[in-house]
Amino acid sequence: MLFDSHAHYDDERFNEDRDIVLKSVYESGVGYVLNAASDVASIDSTLELSEKYDFVYAAIGIHPHNVEKAETGVLDRIAELSKRPKVVAIGEIGLDYYYDFSPRELQKKWLIMQIGLAKDLKLPIIVHNRDSHQDILDIVKSENAKKTGGVFHMFSGSVEMAEILLDNNFYISVGGVVTFNNAKKIVDVVKAVPPDRLLVETDCPYMTPVPFRGRRNDSTYMINTVRKIAEIKGMEVERIIEITTKNAKDLFNIK
């Protein structure tokens, strides 16, 4: 069964039909979904989803967009909530220099704090990185994020960056972008990264793969991403499903 390693089913775009969508997701052959929080409110909604659906797991953390509105006391709450059995990662956390919704120095401060929290909790991290490649690599190294390991979700870096991250105990996650006509960098990354270090994701409701671009994304479309990865790697689709599901279960310690 497929493992969608990064989704946002608590997003308001699913408010009218969330139960219907998640039922169809499971029936389509997606056996695992990791829902990632991004702020204080979505920590609660992510936990609710993980408690309602057996196949949904939770990552909890503060996204770089939202760190300016967060108080450091939330870290204590994350630490407490991480004791729940369905919480399997800290995330999504990271840096975003494309939108700069929060000051860069504050983004870096929160990333460092949340890496430290993950190390204390012995949980992997889910990392968001947009236009911040060098700073995020510097922090991964200086904060010894290798100790937690984790995944760079919806990877947007170069082959060289991916190789550095592989050396630092990270997986590379691939989403619908790999199916886009103008996708070259991520295609090169998929060629270079060993199958046993790849994850697949939707980042739904965003990043819908071809041929469904323009629609709200959900995990039923993820098979199109998997097919593209299989084509790039010259492997069978079922083998990619088997390997990437095992990778995600290993990373998030799901038995």
For the sheet with 198-200, list strands across it: 2-7, 30-36, 56-60, 87-96, 125-130, 150-152, 170-174, 198-200
Q: pLDDT tens-digit profile of 44-61? A: 999 999 999 999 999 999
Polymer length in residues for the chain: 255
The predicted structure's pLDDT at residue 242: 98
Q: What percent of the chain has pLDDT over 90?
A: 99
Number of domains in the chain: 1
Which pTM does this prediction carry?
0.97
Q: Where are the beta strands (DSSP E) in 8-113?
A: 30-36, 56-60, 87-96
Confidence of residue 71 (pLDDT cuts 50, 70, 90): very high
Q: pLDDT tens-digit profile of 186-203? A: 999 999 999 999 999 999
Name the residue range of residue 150's domain: 2-251
Q: pLDDT tens-digit profile of 99-153? A: 999 999 999 999 999 999 999 999 999 999 999 999 999 999 999 999 999 999 9
Q: Cα separation of 184 and 159, whole Å?
A: 11
Cis peptide bond prior to 205, omega within 30° of 0 = yes
CB-side exposure of 245: number of CA atoms within 13 Å? 19
Q: Cα separation of 181 and 213, whole Å?
A: 11
Q: Which residue matches tokens 């704090």?
A: 113
Non-local (6+) Cβ contacts of 137 within 8 A are: 161, 164, 165
Contact 161, 129 (CB under 8 A): no
CB atoms within 10 A of CB 103: 11
Q: Which of 140, 128, 111, 102 lies closest to 36, judged by CA?
A: 128
CATH code of the domain covering residue 242? 3.20.20.140
Residue 245 phi/psi, 5-degree rounding, is: -65, -45
Q: Which of 56, 51, 45 lies closest to 5, judged by CA?
A: 56
Q: Cα separation of 207 and 195, whole Å?
A: 22
Enter the DSSP assignment of 204.
B
Confidence of residue 86 (pLDDT cuts 50, 70, 90): very high
Strand partners of residue 170: 150
